[in-house]
């Protein structure tokens, strides 16, 4: 019982109320005080921008003030800033072995991703041919790992051969004819 209620109860006791009558008088006074407080307009907490500021302890249930996992916060930040697509594109390069499997990753590497077209360089022409035959399966694996419409087409080529078109010892003419037998 607060100080104001005690004074009301004491004045009621002087009026000759005791026992249940006194309890009823105290209860009526508390209800009247509550109704009067409900009629008055409440001040907004927080003050700025219409945000309601939470006060006190968070309690047993989930609360936005509770510490969050770093991964959850990072995902929320990436979604808010619109970085999902660059993240998916970076996953293709950063986790190539996880995306396509260890066997294919040992014999190929992604070179560039431009407009949904992934350029892959194979270690030999035989592996380039094999990867071209596995294009459908590779696209499904990539889509399953990083999301749909990140990679829409594969451009697979073999290793780059050396070129003798330019250099300090370039000789004008038809070029090296007998180099490869």
Neighbours of 181 (CB within 10 A): 3
Q: Are the beta carbons of 77 and 68 closer than 8 angstroms?
A: no
Asked if the structure places residue 29 within a domain, the reply is yes
Asked if the structure places residue 45 within a domain, the reply is no
Q: How many domains does the chain have?
A: 2
Confidence category of residue 4, pLDDT binned at 50, 70, 90: low
Confidence category of residue 43, pLDDT binned at 50, 70, 90: low
Higher pLDDT, 62 or 142: 142
User: Measured between alpha carbons, how far is 102 from 98 in angstroms, rounded to an integer?
Assistant: 7
Is pTM beyond 0.75? Reply is no
User: Measured between alpha carbons, how far is 157 from 154 in angstroms, rounded to an integer?
Assistant: 10
Asked if the structure places residue 79 within a domain, the reply is no
As a whole-number percent, the residues of the chain with pLDDT over 90 amount to 31
- Strand-by-strand arrangement of the 153-157 sheet: 108-114, 117-122, 153-157
Neighbours of 99 (CB within 10 A): 21
Asked if the structure places residue 176 within a domain, the reply is no
Beta bridge partners of 108: 122
**Which domain does 28 fall in, by range?**
3-35
User: Measured between alpha carbons, how far is 39 from 122 in angstroms, rounded to an integer?
Assistant: 77
Asked if the structure places residue 129 within a domain, the reply is yes
The string of pLDDT tens digits covering residues 67-121 is 889 999 998 998 899 888 888 888 899 899 999 999 999 999 999 998 889 999 9
Asked if the structure places residue 150 within a domain, the reply is yes
Asked if the structure places residue 16 within a domain, the reply is yes
User: Measured between alpha carbons, how far is 4 from 30 in angstroms, rounded to an integer?
Assistant: 10
**What is residue 111's DSSP assignment?**
E
Asked if the structure places residue 123 within a domain, the reply is yes
Q: Residue 125 belongs to a domain with what CATH number?
A: 3.30.300.20
As a whole-number percent, the residues of the chain with pLDDT over 70 amount to 74
């Amino acid at each position: 019982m607060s100080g104001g209620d005690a004074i009301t109860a004491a004045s009621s006791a002087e009026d000759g109320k005791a026992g249940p009558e006194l309890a009823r008088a105290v209860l009526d006074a508390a209800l009247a005080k509550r109704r009067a407080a409900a009629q008055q307009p409440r001040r907004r907490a927080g003050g700025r921008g219409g945000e309601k500021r939470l006060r006190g302890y968070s309690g047993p249930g989930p609360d936005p003030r509770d510490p969050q996992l770093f991964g959850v916060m990072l995902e929320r930040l990436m979604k808010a800033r619109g970085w999902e697509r660059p993240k998916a594109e970076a996953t293709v390069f950063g986790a190539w072995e996880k995306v396509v499997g260890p066997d294919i990753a040992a014999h190929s590497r992604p070179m560039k991703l431009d407009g949904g077209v992934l350029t892959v360089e194979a270690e030999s022409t035989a592996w380039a041919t094999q990867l071209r035959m596995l294009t459908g399966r590779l696209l499904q694996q990539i889509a399953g790992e990083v999301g749909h419409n990140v990679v829409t087409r594969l451009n697979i080529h073999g290793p780059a051969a050396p070129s003798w078109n330019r250099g300090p010892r370039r000789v004008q003419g038809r070029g090296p004819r007998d180099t490869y037998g």
